[in-house]
Amino acid sequence: MNESRIRTLLGRAVRLAARGHGGAEPNPMVGCVIVDAHGEVVAEGFHRRCGGPHAEVDALAAAGERARGGTAIVTLEPCAHRGRTGPCTDALRAAGVARVLYAVADPNPLAAGGGAQLSASGIQAELFPHDGARELALPFVKRVQTGLPWISAKWAQSIDGAIALANGDSKWLSCARSRHMVHRERGRVDAILTGIGTVIADDPQLTARGVRVHRQAMRVVFDPALRTPPEARICDASAPTVILASESLDAAATQRANQLVARGVRILRLGAGDTMRAPLAALAKEGVARVLVEAGGGVVGRLLREEILDEAWVFIVPFVIGDDLARRSVRGLTPAVLAAVARARLMSVRQRGTDALLHYRWTR
């Protein structure tokens, strides 16, 4: 198999892996393609749900005897440990695979070392770096290395960068197809983060509607002074709600906190300077792997300042607002020179209905 064929098959494995989004987490999304001894693709697989078979095992089950003497092409190093399922290294050995190519080394010290174990047992195991597989693994790598969830912001903005009119009106900027895509993503993440500015302006419910719900996302509100009205829709019983509030609250906020807690809302404390790292790390420990940010410029600006925002999905809608006082997609940053601004990488540009969808990631 030449390098270009391996790259093509890894691209296929990445696309398979992405189908696991919403089911696989907090495990990594992983895809696997098995080719036989003649280089023909005989099976494909991916990690569908946490606790279920890993991608290699899924693909090997489909390949059966045709895997013998063949090659497994996997987006992530096969695991070498027994978690809820057995080690993939054992499954690959038992299937008689002759060669294993994996695109990213496992960052999890508990599961790493699969490549070396396979080599030690006579299977030709090699790391074959692939950009798509590296990007795919980033959410998992970030959580293992920093203890923080993967944080994706989405917002709809006019051509001139406004997310709402000066009076807060923002319904609806984006087209129905774009909004449907956002609901699908809501049904695949563990938490949806917004800010008190948005709660007060829009009173959103932030639940996934009209789509398949793979997992129930908790609603998280950045609300330092705890201004969330206890009757806000975001505090309804349709999903759990967490409010991130400052350590010190005035008497009125303390009273609101008691009412909110009585409604089933959890309150987590922000760190010094109202930083979000500590409560987000605490949520990650509870299994929150993916956070979707649907907030105004205040929250997005804070996440960028704290250098914990990983990506943005920006819907550019065909309006020009043109008002100096219109709300901006990001605020609160004060760069002195352009060279100090963190540059994002443009990942993709697509059309969704009447909107353009730009996907950016920040490299850290």
Q: Of the two residues 13 and 292, which places its CB atom closer to ligand NAP in the complex?
A: 292
Q: Of the two residues 28 and 301, which places its CB atom closer to ligand NAP in the complex?
A: 301
Give yes or no: 56 in active site.
yes
Structure tokens at 113: 């070392």
- Of these, 33, 97, 196, 280, which contacts ligand NAP (CB under 6 A)? 196
Q: In the chain, helix, strand, coil percent, each to 5?
A: 30, 25, 45
Q: Of the two residues 19 and 183, which places its CB atom closer to ligand NAP in the complex?
A: 183
Catalytic annotation, pick one of 25, 56, 77, 311: 56
Query: Restricting to residues 97-136, which ones interact with ligand NAP according to CB under 6 A?
Result: none
For residue 147, give the DSSP letter: S
- Of these, 9, 74, 164, 289, which contacts ligand NAP (CB under 6 A)? 164
Query: Restricting to residues 172-191, which ones interact with ligand NAP according to CB under 6 A?
Result: 173
Element (H, E) at 218: strand 218-222
Q: Of the two residues 331 and 359, which places its CB atom closer to ligand NAP in the complex?
A: 331
Contact 245, 253 (CB under 8 A): yes
Structure tokens at 104: 């990213």
For residue 114, give the DSSP letter: H
Question: Rule CB under 6 A: is residue 327 a binding residue for ligand NAP?
Answer: yes
Tell me which stretch binds ligand NAP (CB under 6 A): 19-27, 33-41, 264-272, 299-307. Answer: 299-307
Residues written for the chain: 364
- φ/ψ region of 240 (left if φ > 0, alpha if ψ in -120 to 50, else beta) reads beta
Q: In what order do the strands lie in the sheet with 355-362?
A: 266-269, 241-245, 218-222, 191-195, 290-293, 150-158, 311-317, 355-362, 344-352
Question: Rule CB under 6 A: is residue 27 a binding residue for ligand NAP?
Answer: no
For residue 337, give the DSSP letter: S
Shortest distance in whole angstroms from residue 356 CB to ligand NAP:
14
Contact 217, 186 (CB under 8 A): yes
Q: Of the two residues 75 and 329, which places its CB atom closer to ligand NAP in the complex?
A: 329
Sites of contact with ligand NAP (CB under 6 A): 155-156, 163-164, 168, 170, 173, 194-198, 201-202, 222, 224, 274, 294-299, 301-302, 327, 331-332
Catalytically active residues, by annotation: 56
